[in-house]
Amino acid sequence: MRTLATLRGRGRDETAGVPADNGIDVEIVDPRQAPEPSGWPKFRKLAAVAPMWDYRLLRIESWLSRNPPVLAVMREGGRVLGACVVMLCSPVRGQVFGPRPATHRPGLSPCWAEVYLPWFSGHSAVVFRRQLDGAQRRELLRLFERRLAEYVGLGLLGVVYRAMPADIAEAVAGPGRPVREIDPTTVLDNRFDSVDDWLASLRPQVRTTVREALDLPDSLDVTTAAGREDLDAAELASLLNEHRARQDARAWRSGQRARIAGLHLDTRSPVPTAYLAELLRSPNVVTRTYRDPSGRLVAFHTMFDTAGGVAMPYWAALPRGRGGVPRLYVDGYVHAVRHLIDSGRPELTAGRTLLDLKAGLGFTTRTLLSVAVPRPVMGR
């Protein structure tokens, strides 16, 4: 790929969404109003295989999020090289950025941008084709920042790259760009021949706990399938958001909110029913539900199954005082490990919380970093 250095100093067109002379450009689209970018389905198969990169899901997320995301698509000669999901965040609670016409006056309201997957924070919101090296990625990200500054307008305070893997953070970092290590994501490498092989690798006390937890009540109805259309998404979304609210409340009480989430300001929205309904119907999303004899949902978890690995983005359960089953989450992890081994995927990722518990189950950690880029250094 040609270097992007020749773009500097060529005038306003280099970030205006019109390809420069050498064909390198960054297109920023608002999923609420723009059609799916050309070449996006092909790029998704190569580099953005997780379900949340599906343009239909991005459109739903953008309409229903408090801080709606846009999609930045990096191209050379029309070929997609990389992409970012970018939330546009307002310091005024309740203010939402509406769809912008193609020609708009630069915005004056203060805001900032976050390159972030708020409902899948252990994974990068920046993806590239594999063949791009670090220097090429750096140049594309600098061009993205210049394009974003023009798209948002004068009110843009800067951009924060949240929860980035080390290679992406290295491409973003530079003078005037502070980098902070945040809580890592958890990873289990697939080095096992069977679930028994995995169990044998655990400490004896943990192994005993796991086996005891697998003795589920006979009255519990457990159903697992991919692409499920039999679910009431409102029921699952209610349990999920309630579960997350309890986690947040515990974190605030313990004074660890910023450490656990890696954020001083939580820009996430509750997971909407419409988003969850579309997500659970995806063929590479496996959902496992647990119901009591009355049919009430006691717990559920989801897995994303892709060639790059299995991920567990969502787990939610009723508290014990309201009919929840103790240590039911252990069954969820065992099921995920079984799926990992049976499918032959290289790894299982399971989010950024409960690190000690997951370490006992054999998980290691992968470093994540956040990089803040104030407006004066954007694009430099």
pTM for the full model? 0.86
Q: Tell me the two tokens of residue 204.
A: 């004896």
What is the band of 121 on the pLDDT scale with cuts at 50, 70, 90?
A: confident
What is the band of 14 on the pLDDT scale with cuts at 50, 70, 90?
A: very low
What is the band of 8 on the pLDDT scale with cuts at 50, 70, 90?
A: very low
Q: What is the mean pLDDT of residues 233-249?
A: 88
Q: What is the CATH number of domain 5-182+368-377?
A: 3.40.630
- Encoded amino acid at 371, one letter: V
Q: How far, in whole angstroms, is CA 258 from its chain's centroid?
A: 18
Residues 6+ apart with CB under 8 A from 56: 278
Class of domain 191-345: alpha beta
Lowest-confidence pick of 50-59, 90-99, 146-155, 364-373: 90-99
Q: Tell me the two tokens of residue 230.
A: 């039999």
What is the band of 255 on the pLDDT scale with cuts at 50, 70, 90?
A: low
- Asked if residue 322 has pLDDT above 70, the reply is yes
**Domain ranges, ordered by start, for the chain:** 5-182+368-377, 191-345
Which of 96-100, 173-177, 241-245, 264-268 reaches the highest mean pLDDT? 173-177
- Contact (Cβ atoms closer than 8 angstroms) between residue 122 and residue 358: no
Residues 6+ apart with CB under 8 A from 170: 134
Q: What are 262-310's pLDDT values in tens digits?
A: 444 567 788 999 999 999 999 999 999 999 999 999 999 999 999 999 9
pLDDT on residue 268:
72
Q: What are 70-111's pLDDT values in tens digits?
A: 999 999 988 999 999 999 998 765 444 444 433 344 467 889
Which of 78, 111, 80, 114 has its CA nearest to residue 96?
111
pLDDT on residue 7:
35
Lowest-confidence pick of 14-18, 58-62, 278-282, 297-301: 14-18
pLDDT on residue 11:
31
